[in-house]
Structure 1
Amino acid sequence: MSDEIVYGINAVTEALRGERKSFELFIAGSPDDRRLARIVQLANERGVAVRSRQKPDITRLAGSDHHQGVALRVEPFPYSDLEDIIAATAAAEDALVLLLDSIQDPANLGSMVRSAACAGASGIVITKDRSVGVTPSVERVSAGAVETLPIARVTNLAQTLERLKEAGFWIYGLSDEASATIFRQKFSGKIALLVGNEGEGIRPLVRKGCDVILSIPLHGGVSSLNAAVAGSIALFEVVRQRELAVK
């Protein structure tokens, strides 16, 4: 597999702090910029070569002009194994995992990775087919959060749900057609939140594997929420309930 280019200040910073091998850092900007200076310092600490380039050069390298004057050549993103996520949550009574069924928009995936990381999720599971993977664009939108929690790719999500149930997880799927809502559901124990595809939602076979299907109540003229927004709301409803339980 070929190397990848990570770009954007937050994404590059987290990549340099992470476990992936980094090869070259490309910088276009003022040496007085504290954020860039910190990135150069991180690169030096890891023994990564630093190259000065013009912004148009970094734009061509990154394939995007949203690089903020910095790009990093790294080894490909290392996906985790589902069993590793399950093993890491074995002793956690309140583990939280985010499941994504065929999410295709890099912006949605990146946003949900960032939300999951901020919500304290133990891991994310995405599908291999009909789904976007962790690309440089996803890394930028996630603000580098892809480097902070395990992300597994699975071939059969329905079987994955059964495996999570065996490990003690309750599976909660999101659907705007459900009569029960997330705000009336008591979340406790090990929780796996499932968000479906942007257009079709959760696939029927996968939906059958859910313990509970929940909706987010909507008011006004719009009939549905963006997948990333819905997933974030559900994640932080779990966080809200757990915060209240501690008080």
Structure 2
Amino acid sequence: MAANNRRMSGKKGAQIGSGGKRRRGLEGKGPTPPAEARKGHVKNRLANAKAKQQARRPKARPGQRSTSELVVGRNPVYEALRDGVPASTLYVQQFIDNDERVRDALALAAERGGIHLMEAPRPELDRMTNGLNHQGLVLQVPPYEYAHAEDLTAAAYDAGQDPLIVLLDGVTDPRNLGAVVRSVSAFGGHGVVVPERRAAGMSAGAWKSSAGAAARTPVARATNLTRTLEAYKKEGVIVVGLAADGEADVTDLPALAGPVAIVVGSEGKGLSRLVGETCDIRVRIPMPGGAESLNAGVAAGIVLYEAARRRA
């Protein structure tokens, strides 16, 4: 009898109750997780691989890169290519009228090298440019890689030179930025610093105005211009602000012969209050002709010339 009972149960030992296993089994496991979260699923493996790849990439610091830009129209595209504006892709409309400007643009792109030529239908170019009059030519300018403000002084000291840096406060015209970059390059400066917000960046217009100087003169972006100036002062750099009501003439400033950061404000508002208060000294440019102000590019050029003269 006992043997028969053992054969019927199929198991040895006590068989009273299930310990709640059957009840828990009936409760279910809830909603099915997405494929990316299911271990062993192909999408889960792809997501993990992508996450590991991104983790290995060096993280860019805030403000290091700008967004890409499109130059549209036959003349603007040709001029951008002629003036050396960096470009990654030239989009050409299918069945475009092959006039002289188109041929010249294509020849310049091929001559420079490294620029991808892409043929696209007109509706696609209309979508890319939000309906602007592109005339069948669109040039993509890659994001500008900004330097870091502290790198400018470090590079100068490493070269055994006193830093000569220009900072722009509220300058919104990219042509003025390009002109300042050109002057900094011409007079032996070590770079330009612009605020991250409410200021001109290194766009195609700034590149063109720099006349190629942007390729050899670094431009840095600062999250907070006042904090950047304070950091420069701790490194022994004299901060000189340009202002119409400055305490001294720029021609009477021996400090320009040493480590100096020149701050130029906008033509209309000049230096902002906090930036002006952070300057070690504010100077004015003598203007016997009676003009009220100069644009940022001209003002920076005058001070940089004086600095170069004293350093020579």
RMSD (Å) for aligned C-alpha atoms: 3.4
> What pairs with 1:10-25 in structure 2 (closer than 5 Å)?
11-12=80-81, 13-16=83-86, 22-24=88-90
Q: Label 1:32 to 1:157 Cα distance change in 2 as closer, same or farther (>3 A).
A: closer
Question: What is residue 227 of structure 1 aligned with on the other side?
Answer: 296
Q: Label 1:29 to 1:83 Cα distance change in 2 as closer, same or farther (>3 A).
A: farther
Percent identity for Structure 1 against Structure 2: 35
Q: Which has the larger radius of gyration?
A: 2
Q: Label 1:25 to 1:85 Cα distance change in 2 as closer, same or farther (>3 A).
A: farther
2:78 aligned with 1:78, yes or no? no
Question: Is 1:178–1:214's contact at 8 Å kept on the other side of the alignment?
Answer: yes
In the alignment, the residues of structure 1 paired with residue 154 and residue 248 of structure 2 have an alpha-carbon distance, to the nearest angstrom, of 31
Q: CA deviation at 1:38?
A: 6.0
In the alignment, the residues of structure 2 paired with residue 129 and residue 30 of structure 1 have an alpha-carbon distance, to the nearest angstrom, of 36
2:213 aligned with 1:148, yes or no? no
2:107 aligned with 1:40, yes or no? no
Question: What is residue 70 of structure 2 aligned with on the other side?
Answer: 5
In the alignment, the residues of structure 2 paired with residue 237 and residue 76 of structure 1 have an alpha-carbon distance, to the nearest angstrom, of 34
Structure 1 gap segments, 5+ residues each: none
In the alignment, the residues of structure 2 paired with residue 25 and residue 109 of structure 1 have an alpha-carbon distance, to the nearest angstrom, of 28
Deviations 1:55-98 (A, max 9, x none): xx9xx97x799xxxx97423211112223223222323322111
Question: Is 2:249–2:284's contact at 8 Å kept on the other side of the alignment?
Answer: yes
Q: Report the secondary structure of 1:90's partner residue.
A: helix
Question: What is residue 216 of structure 1 aligned with on the other side?
Answer: 285
Q: Report the secondary structure of 2:84's partner residue.
A: helix
Q: Which structure has more RCO (C-alpha within 8 Å, separation ≥ 6)?
A: 1
Q: Label 1:71 to 1:144 Cα distance change in 2 as closer, same or farther (>3 A).
A: farther
TM-score by length of 2: 0.62
Structure 2 gap segments, 5+ residues each: 1-65, 93-97
TM-score by length of 1: 0.76
Does 102-111 or 2-11 show the bigger shift? 2-11
Q: CA deviation at 1:106?
A: 2.2
Question: Is 1:28–1:52's contact at 8 Å kept on the other side of the alignment?
Answer: no
Question: What is residue 197 of structure 1 aligned with on the other side?
Answer: 266
In the alignment, the residues of structure 1 paired with residue 99 and residue 151 of structure 2 have an alpha-carbon distance, to the nearest angstrom, of 39
Q: Report the secondary structure of 1:171's partner residue.
A: strand
Question: Is 1:158–1:206's contact at 8 Å kept on the other side of the alignment?
Answer: yes
